[in-house]
């Protein structure tokens, strides 16, 4: 148990997230008086002191009522972050002061320093936008955000790779996300919108019609604007009948100019939803990027996580897709699955070597609230931070050897070892949708259950999130409302 007392500020969210990074899974209780601390566990006191123009933050850490550590971060007003935003400087200063305390009482390494957000690359884009030199950007990342040298250089390189896809900004373009929330079974770790196709089969036709209706209305809402990229995800879009998926794809072409679409991805995902007919249909309809996701190539783990397919099925689907003509295939992996360590990831990577995919997306396991895993995790063995880092390193070395390079990165809450998810791609085969969606420099209109539209206002550099409802029945009954929400979002 960790007690926290804030004095002179209320950055509760940031403080909680940073403590969580050092003390994974520990309960954190905010108190307003020391009397509420009974001496059990740690008490962290973090204060903000303003005297005239001078702003300081002090962190004190007590164990059993005894002061173990004290640190004063001085002159927050002068923190060098490439911007003159005082509130931001104060927030960073408070986190730096807390960070100094936490590294003295926890053995956990935090390669992302004081950063708790999911989009570290955005910071680098902002600094580049301010015309700050690269060497000064690295200094800010190291000294102010306390990011490790490796991660700082990684995000700078990714950021530079992304800029040609993001700039110049074009208000007349947008991306389209389509959610198809059906799967053949639910995987242990997953918290995405996903319904068992066998149980919900009777709703698939109605869902298809409502989705097409929503796509048609996006054309009216976005009158005069063209689509840059499309991502059909889920769930597993190929879990629904081929005719339904084709109807959805054709509705995109009916509404929007095919020529303007630079990239259209279908998350084929699981080999137990892939066959020659569905791949032919996708190819005929000019789908130019697909995912075939192993997660792991170890059959024992695949069984444990409920995938209902083998590693041999992955290889078979992959070669089938190649034979049919797909030249941009992504494969998703997850590091840290139950029972897996360095040997298992080496085995997975060895099996991917011959496949030579254009994209590899390496996720680190996140223990999500909505997953079966969260409820039953005591039953499984999960490796600690050191091993997870070693596994991630294996994927980094593998990617370099395969000549695929990091092009997008994001972090998630509850991610093992405080690490990250990295997308790798061969030169020129980067997934443009992933970059745009993550860096939030273009509007994403989203259709379907649980899909979230993000409307970008370039002048204010602001994003308005417009979520669709997360339940199937609500979505089917309230499709018009989902459309109205988007109109309101655009006018906000």
Ligand X SMILES: C[S@@+](CC[C@H](N)C(=O)[O-])C[C@H]1O[C@@H](n2cnc3c(N)ncnc32)[C@H](O)[C@@H]1O
C-alpha distances (whole Å) from 215 to each of 30, 104, 135, 253, 255 are 45, 53, 45, 10, 8
In the complex, minimum distance from the CB of residue 207 to ligand SF4, in angstroms, rounded to a whole number: 16
Task: Return the residue of 115, 147, 187, 314 that touches ligand SF4, per CB under 6 A.
Answer: 187
Judged by CB, which is closer to ligand SF4: 95, or 270?
Answer: 270
For position 186 contacting ligand SF4 by CB under 6 A, the verdict is yes
What does the per-residue mask of binding to ligand SF4 show for 164-183, with x meaning CB under 6 A? -------------------x
Task: Work out the number of other CB atoms within 10 angstroms of the CB of residue 243.
Answer: 10
363 contacts which partner out of ligand SF4, ligand X, none, CB within 5 to 8 A by kind? ligand X
101 contacts which partner out of ligand SF4, ligand X, none, CB within 5 to 8 A by kind? none
What is the Cα–Cα distance from 110 to 115, expressed in whole angstroms?
A: 9
Tokens of 177: 């996300």
Instruction: Check whether the bond before 397 is cis (ω within 30° of 0).
Output: no
- Contact footprint for ligand X (CB under 6 A): 183, 189-192, 233-236, 267, 269-270, 293, 295, 332, 334, 363, 365-366, 368, 371
Judged by CB, which is closer to ligand SF4: 20, or 186?
Answer: 186
For position 405 contacting ligand SF4 by CB under 6 A, the verdict is no
216 contacts 269 by C-beta, under 8 angstroms = no
Instruction: Check whether the bond before 235 is cis (ω within 30° of 0).
Output: yes
332 contacts which partner out of ligand SF4, ligand X, none, CB within 5 to 8 A by kind? ligand X
For position 234 contacting ligand SF4 by CB under 6 A, the verdict is yes
446 in helix, strand or coil? Answer: strand
- Find the part of the chain contacting ligand SF4 (CB under 6 A) among 151-159, 188-196, 240-248, 383-391: 188-196
- Tokens 């962190």: give the residue: 59
Judged by CB, which is closer to ligand X: 125, or 270?
Answer: 270
186 contacts which partner out of ligand X, ligand SF4, none, CB within 5 to 8 A by kind? ligand SF4
Task: Considering only residues 264 through 293, tell me which ones interact with ligand SF4, judged by CB under 6 A.
Answer: 269-270
For position 317 contacting ligand SF4 by CB under 6 A, the verdict is no
For position 450 contacting ligand SF4 by CB under 6 A, the verdict is no
DSSP for residue 295: B
Q: Looking at the DSSP assignment, which residues form a beta bridge with residue 487?
A: none
In the complex, minimum distance from the CB of residue 420 to ligand SF4, in angstroms, rounded to a whole number: 19
In the complex, minimum distance from the CB of residue 472 to ligand SF4, in angstroms, rounded to a whole number: 14
Tokens of 476: 């089917």
C-alpha distances (whole Å) from 342 to each of 318, 385, 395 are 25, 12, 10
C-alpha distances (whole Å) from 451 to each of 233, 256, 410, 444 are 10, 20, 19, 10
What is the Cα–Cα distance from 244 to 379, expressed in whole angstroms?
A: 39
Q: Looking at the DSSP assignment, which residues form a beta bridge with residue 423?
A: 361, 408
For position 372 contacting ligand SF4 by CB under 6 A, the verdict is no
- Residue 414 φ/ψ region, left for φ over 0, alpha for ψ in the -120 to 50 degree band, beta for the rest: left
DSSP collapsed to 3 states, 122-143:
HHHHHHHHCCCCHHHHHHHHHH
- Find the part of the chain contacting ligand SF4 (CB under 6 A) among 81-89, 106-114, 148-156, 231-239: 231-239
In the complex, minimum distance from the CB of residue 174 to ligand X, in angstroms, rounded to a whole number: 21
Give the residues lining the site for ligand SF4 (CB under 6 A). 183, 186-187, 190, 192, 194, 234-236, 269-270
């Amino acid at each position: 148990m960790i007690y926290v007392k804030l004095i002179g500020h209320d950055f509760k969210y940031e403080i909680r997230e940073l403590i969580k990074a050092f003390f994974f899974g520990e309960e954190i209780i905010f108190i307003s008086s020391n009397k509420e601390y009974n001496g059990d566990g740690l008490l962290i006191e973090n204060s903000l002191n303003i005297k005239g123009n001078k702003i300081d933050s002090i962190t004190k850490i007590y164990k059993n009522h005894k002061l173990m550590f004290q640190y004063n971060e001085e002159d927050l007003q002068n923190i060098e972050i490439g911007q003159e935003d005082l509130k931001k400087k104060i927030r960073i200063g408070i986190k730096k002061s807390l960070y100094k305390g936490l590294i003295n009482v926890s053995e956990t390494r935090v390669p992302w320093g004081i950063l708790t957000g999911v989009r570290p690359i955005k910071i680098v884009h902002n600094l580049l936008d301010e015309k700050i030199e690269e060497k000064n950007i690295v200094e800010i990342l190291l000294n102010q955000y306390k990011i490790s040298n490796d991660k700082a250089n990684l995000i700078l390189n990714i950021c530079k790779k992304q800029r040609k896809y993001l700039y110049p900004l074009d208000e007349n373009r947008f991306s389209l996300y389509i959610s198809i929330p059906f799967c053949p079974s639910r995987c242990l770790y997953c918290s995405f919108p996903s319904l068992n196709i066998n149980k919900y089969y009777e709703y698939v036709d109605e869902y298809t019609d409502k989705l097409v209706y929503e796509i048609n209305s996006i054309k009216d809402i976005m009158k005069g604007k063209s689509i840059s990229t499309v991502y059909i995800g889920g769930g597993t879009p190929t879990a629904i009948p081929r005719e339904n998926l084709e109807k959805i794809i054709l509705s995109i072409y009916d509404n929007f100019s095919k020529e303007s679409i630079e990239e259209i991805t279908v998350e084929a995902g699981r080999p137990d939803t892939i066959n020659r007919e569905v791949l032919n249909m996708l190819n005929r309809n000019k789908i130019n990027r697909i995912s075939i996701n192993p997660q792991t190539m170890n059959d024992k783990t695949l069984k444990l996580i409920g995938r209902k397919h083998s590693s041999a099925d992955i290889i078979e689907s992959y070669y089938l897709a190649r034979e049919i003509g797909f030249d941009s295939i992504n494969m998703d992996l997850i590091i840290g699955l139950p029972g897996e360590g360095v040997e298992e990831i080496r085995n997975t990577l060895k099996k991917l070597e011959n496949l030579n995919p254009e994209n590899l997306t390496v996720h680190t396991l996140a223990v999500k609230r909505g997953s079966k895993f969260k409820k039953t995790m005591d039953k499984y063995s999960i490796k600690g931070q050191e091993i997870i880092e070693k596994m991630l390193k294996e994927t980094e070395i593998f990617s370099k050897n395969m000549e695929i390079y990091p092009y997008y990165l994001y972090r998630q809450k509850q991610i093992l070892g405080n690490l990250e998810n990295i997308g790798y791609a061969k030169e020129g085969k980067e997934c443009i949708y992933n970059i745009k969606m993550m860096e939030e420099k273009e509007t994403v209109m989203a259709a379907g259950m649980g899909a979230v539209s993000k409307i970008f206002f370039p002048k204010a550099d602001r994003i308005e999130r417009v979520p669709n409802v997360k339940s199937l029945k609500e979505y089917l009954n309230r499709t018009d409302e989902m459309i109205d929400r988007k109109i309101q979002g655009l006018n906000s």
